[in-house]
Amino acid sequence: MGESELFSKIDGATRIDGPHGWIQWKGTEVCMDVHCTYGAHTHIDAEFAYYVECGDCGALFAVGAYVKLVPVTAAEVAEVGELDRVTVVSE
Lowest mean pLDDT segment, chosen from 25-29, 44-48, 86-90: 25-29
Whether 17 is in a domain gets the answer yes
Closest CA to 20 of 74, 64, 54: 64
Q: Other CB atoms closer than 10 Å to residue 53's CB: what's the count? A: 12
Q: What is the pLDDT confidence band of residue 84, given thresholds at 50, 70 and 90?
A: very high
| Overall number of domains in the chain | 1
Establish if 23 belongs to a structural domain: yes
pTM of the model: 0.63
Lowest mean pLDDT among 9-13, 66-70, 77-81: 9-13
User: Is 91 within a domain?
Assistant: no
Give residue-wise pLDDT tens across range 2-30.
767 776 776 777 777 776 667 776 767 88
